[in-house]
Homo-oligomer: A and B are copies of this chain.
Amino acid sequence: MRARTPHRPARPAQPSTTSVALGTAGTGQVETTRADPRQDPLFVQSIDRALQVLSAFHETSRPLTLQDISRITGLGRSAVQRMIFTLRALGYIDRDPDDRGYVPGLRILDHTLDFQRLNPVVVKANPILLELRRMTRERVDLSLRDDLRLVYATRLQSKREILTSTLIGNSVPLFCTSGGWAIMAHLDQAEVEDILHRSDRIRHTPHTLTDLRDLRRAVAETRERGYAVAREQILTGEIALGVAILNAQGDPVAAIHLAGSLAEWSREDFEKQFAPLMIQAARTIGRA
């Protein structure tokens, strides 16, 4: 139990503060405009509870029983049972066919599709990513920033992709990924510090950078170059280029990645070959 699902926050972030952030920054202290949304009278408790139930599956890698969910969410048995009933009626939770227990339901994928259809970054990026993969023949990804992590929204497999971990919705931390460095390169140093300090800097490979000085340098280098290069930060034997995508206000909201194998590429070749393409692609997407 408690599978190593990387860094998915059990409790989500604040709502509108993201857009503020810039003016009041300074020391990297994020000024929370609204103290805590979940004790705001506008906050609908029961939605929260229902989504907590759905989110209980984040914690597991097996079907859950009622009491599992009750334990994970901290909600009472009755409440959980009522919600499961409802969520099941609506198709958001199913019974596991063989084993007994509950699993996420099919209807979730309807919302996945909506997200992909409606998110402007994803929509703009997709054709460009396809083109990018056509030209590079390597793995191309788009990830969106969610506070300390990057969530993969589009993944285009390369020729021989074995790992099943190339799934939409997977997330990686900002602090040790090409995309994360690319994004931090577009923030003021105060915010970078804030991010680095709040991240729990877990080592994914023996080469993962975790020292603050190293990470600062990685970000600084990225800032100069205009793109990030990450070697074996998440996966051994993998090299990745990352470029940030800016929204209309100039905030880095997403990143594109290109990942190749160090068995095939030297760092220099990989960069020389692909960095210009990446930068061009990111500009086109972000209209920067």
Contacts and interface: CB of A to CB of B under 8 A. Distances in A.
Contact of A168 (B112, B160, B247): B112
Interface stretch (A114-122, A176-184, A214-222, A259-267): A114-122
Nearest first, the 8 closest Cβ-Cβ pairs linking A and B are: A113-B169, A37-B89, A109-B169, A57-B114, A112-B169, A104-B115, A44-B86, A47-B50
13 contacts: A8-B110, A44-B82, A44-B86, A51-B92, A58-B114, A61-B118, A96-B120, A104-B114, A106-B144, A109-B153, A110-B151, A116-B168, A130-B161
Interface stretch (A12-20, A224-232, A234-242): A12-20
A253 B95 CA distance: 13
Contact of A12 (B37, B89, B116, B249): B89
A126 B164 contact: yes
A99 B38 CA distance: 27
B153 A91 contact: no
A211 interface: no
Interface of A: 8, 12-16, 19, 37-38, 40, 42-44, 46-48, 50-51, 54-55, 57-58, 60-63, 81-83, 85-92, 95-99, 103-121, 126-127, 130, 134, 144, 146, 151-153, 156-157, 160-162, 164, 167-171, 247-249, 253
Contact of A120 (B98, B157, B161, B171): B98
B111 A115 contact: no
- Majority-rule SS of A interface residues: mixed
A88 B168 contact: no
Contact of A109 (B87, B112, B127, B157): B112
Given A42-B86, A104-B115, A109-B153, 7 more contacts: A13-B91, A42-B85, A44-B50, A58-B110, A106-B115, A112-B168, A130-B161
A91 B13 CA distance: 7
